[in-house]
Structure 1
Amino acid sequence: MQFKPYARTLAVAMSLAVMAGCSSTGGTQEGSMDGTAGSGGVGTGTAGSGQVSGSGLGEGAGQMAGSRIPEVRTIYFAYDSDAIRPEFQSVLESHANFLRSNPSASVVLQGHTDERGTREYNLALGERRAGAVERFLSVEGVSPSQVEVVSYGEERPAARGSNEEAYAQNRRVVFAY
């Protein structure tokens, strides 16, 4: 049977063609083929070092948009409220984008309150706050299996004190990756 030598030659030729088609011509991570940084120096990390700087929010041309955990990981709430404030919607959208882009990633939403109110009430309020964030992420397309909700109530304050400044820092949900 003379078919075997031709099959072997054909397999080698196909392998070489595939490898040639997959080869890269170089270029930079920013997408510029001439080695210059595109768009005025975006991508401040050192090539090959694994170091990347910046918040990951709005950098690059969408190439790195969902690959890094967003830098802002805490959102704050009004007194005795679980309503998401409009100024934090962009933060939540960036976390939703990250989680959708990384289906193996998971997050624990930690709900917190200030010290006013009973322990039981504050645990429930912390859970409602984290639940509100969980619902927002769900509406944005994040899988429920990626999100866990925990309430610490008043037990883990970010700031000590019995004044409005401390209270405001303690009414929060923290994204713990």
Structure 2
Amino acid sequence: MVTGLMLSAMALAALSGCAKKTVPVQSGMPAVSETGPKAASGLSHGIDESKWRELGLLTEEERVEFLDKAESFENDDVYFEFDSYVLLEEARQVLDRKVEFLRRYPKVTVTIEGHCDERGTSEYNLALGERRANSVWQYFVNSGVDPSRLSMISYGEERPIALSHDEASWARNRRAHCVLHY
């Protein structure tokens, strides 16, 4: 009896120790990378016809161009120096390209994600990630993007893209990432 109770307690402790935060996955439209902008002509690319019309993209050529540019938009992150949320010149160039995309496609919205490397406390990194996302948000708004098209979230250190524990990996994780919604 005691052994069974101890095993149950150990199993419960192990499960609670491995608990991860669940982050909601956007439902509806698949990510661009799932279908790829280079898919065969004539395919809907996972987007239904009414959504294409809503976006004002009526021809296959326009749709392929949109998907190609959307993929670039999402894959081109903004990077920050250690413990900073100041936009560097390279980051401003990336953001200028994103602003052009948003001007060209006024029906899309963006979630700006702030990310940090693993150094610092979780609370500090969440706050720093928020400041990084806010820097990008402010740049977009100052460039004429309607704030109602923008939202922000900070993941702090919770979603690294580089898993090693060295400066090169940390530099890749200090970023703002933009996710398109359409």
Same-fold status (TM-score > 0.5): yes
2:106 is aligned to 103
Instruction: Give me the TM-score of the superposition, normalised by structure 2.
Output: 0.60
Counterpart contact for 1:99–1:146, Cα < 8 Å: no
Q: In the alignment, does 2:151 pair up with 1:148?
A: yes
**CA displacement 1:67-89 (0-9 Å, x = unmatched):** 53261431110000000110121
Instruction: Give me the TM-score of the superposition, normalised by structure 1.
Output: 0.61
Q: In the alignment, does 2:38 pair up with 1:49?
A: no
For residue 69 of structure 1, give the secondary structure of its aligned residue in structure 2. helix
Residue type matched to 1:49 in 2? S
2:76 is aligned to 73
**CA displacement 1:35-65 (0-9 Å, x = unmatched):** xxxxxxxxxx8xx9369xxxxxxxxxxxx8x
Matches of 1:73 and 1:174 in 2, distance apart? 8
- Displacement, 1:94? 1.2
Extract unaligned runs of 5+ from structure 1: 1-44, 52-63
For residue 84 of structure 1, give the secondary structure of its aligned residue in structure 2. coil
Extract unaligned runs of 5+ from structure 2: 1-37, 44-61
Q: Which runs of at least 4 in structure 1 moved beyond 4 Å after TM superposition?
A: none
Counterpart contact for 1:110–1:174, Cα < 8 Å: yes
- Displacement, 1:93? 0.8
For residue 177 of structure 2, give the secondary structure of its aligned residue in structure 1. strand
Q: In the alignment, does 2:157 pair up with 1:173?
A: no
Residue type matched to 2:97 in 1? S
Matches of 2:81 and 2:91 in 1, distance apart? 12
Give aligned pairs, total. 119
Aligned in 2, Cα 1:145/1:50: closer, same or farther, shift over 3 Å?
Answer: farther
**CA displacement 1:96-143 (0-9 Å, x = unmatched):** 111122221001111000011110000000000010000000011000
Residue type matched to 1:107 in 2? V
Matches of 1:137 and 1:113 in 2, distance apart? 21
Q: Return the structure number with greater relative CO, CA threshold 8 A, min gap 6.
A: 2
Q: Which has the larger radius of gyration?
A: 1
Matches of 2:169 and 2:97 in 1, distance apart? 27
TM-align CA RMSD: 2.3
Matches of 2:41 and 2:122 in 1, distance apart? 48
Residue type matched to 1:174 in 2? H
Matches of 1:151 and 1:131 in 2, distance apart? 9
**Structure 2 residue aligned with 1:130, among 130, 133, 157?**
133
Matches of 2:104 and 2:121 in 1, distance apart? 39
- Displacement, 1:90? 1.8
